[in-house]
Chains A and B, each alone.
Chain A
Amino acid sequence: DSGVTQTPKHLITATGQRVTLRCSPRSGDLSVYWYQQSLDQGLQFLIQYYNGEERAKGNILERFSAQQFPDLHSELNLSSLELGDSALYFCASSVEVAGYEQYFGPGTRLTVT
């Protein structure tokens, strides 16, 4: 158990819908990262937050957004969902903004039908 929690574990929804994925980092970790794992794209970095501020952005679609709240939990919002958004979404956390150990949560498996 990495100490990072993600909810829900599984999510099935229809095209065009909007979903919110939630992540709670390990106790004491200020940095949260979101990654997407799909069969065709592999594991890709989406976005990083540190202590409530956005720090780095990767291949995140405009339909996707994220935020980190004062209690340090983070949410990834996916809207106007398409079939291609079906993937495993990971949240990871680290102590520092440049923490070398990123601990991953169990992931949320999103299926868009």
Chain B
Amino acid sequence: AQKITQTQPGMFVQEKEAVTLDCTYDTSDQSYGLFWYKQPSSGEMIFLIYQGSYDEQNATEGRYSLNFQKARKSANLVISASQLGDSAMYFCAMRDIQGAQKLVFGQGTRLTINP
């Protein structure tokens, strides 16, 4: 069974600093995808970034990058130059590419950006 672990329930960061949100995963599948979603206080789930298990380069989307270390089964999200609007819950998730299409989510990390 697939499992996602986010060990940081909450993080506090100063505005403009970079922040790394940790995510480790467990799967016996060879083909899988890793995702990060942002959930602001308004409740919607916003897709941020995707990394495929066979992608050789780390995914980047604007200020977001995914530090993918396959051997360590980690997929940390890095946010550069944090902004006040980055304050939200962040969820790491994974999906088995070949089989069931469900996303399996971690428990989330609440990020607070201080001015």
Contacts and interface: CB of A to CB of B under 8 A. Distances in A.
Interface of A: 2, 31, 33, 35, 42-45, 48, 55-56, 58, 88, 90, 92, 97-98, 100-107, 109
Nearest to B45: A104
Contacts of A33: 101-103
A93 B111 CA distance: 26
A90 B102 CA distance: 13
8 contacts: A2-B46, A56-B100, A97-B101, A100-B33, A100-B52, A102-B35, A103-B47, A107-B43
Given A42-B108, A100-B95, A104-B37, A55 B101 contact: yes
A104 B103 CA distance: 12
Rank and list the top 5 A-B pairs by shortest CB-CB distance, nearest first: A45-B102, A104-B45, A43-B105, A56-B100, A106-B44
Given A31-B101, A33-B102, A97-B101, A42 B107 contact: yes
Interface in B81-105: 91, 93, 95, 97, 100-105
Given A100-B52, A100-B95, A101-B50, A88 B43 contact: yes
Given A43-B91, A100-B52, A107 B101 contact: no
Nearest to A42: B107
Contacts of A98: 97, 101
Contacts of A43: 91, 93, 103, 105
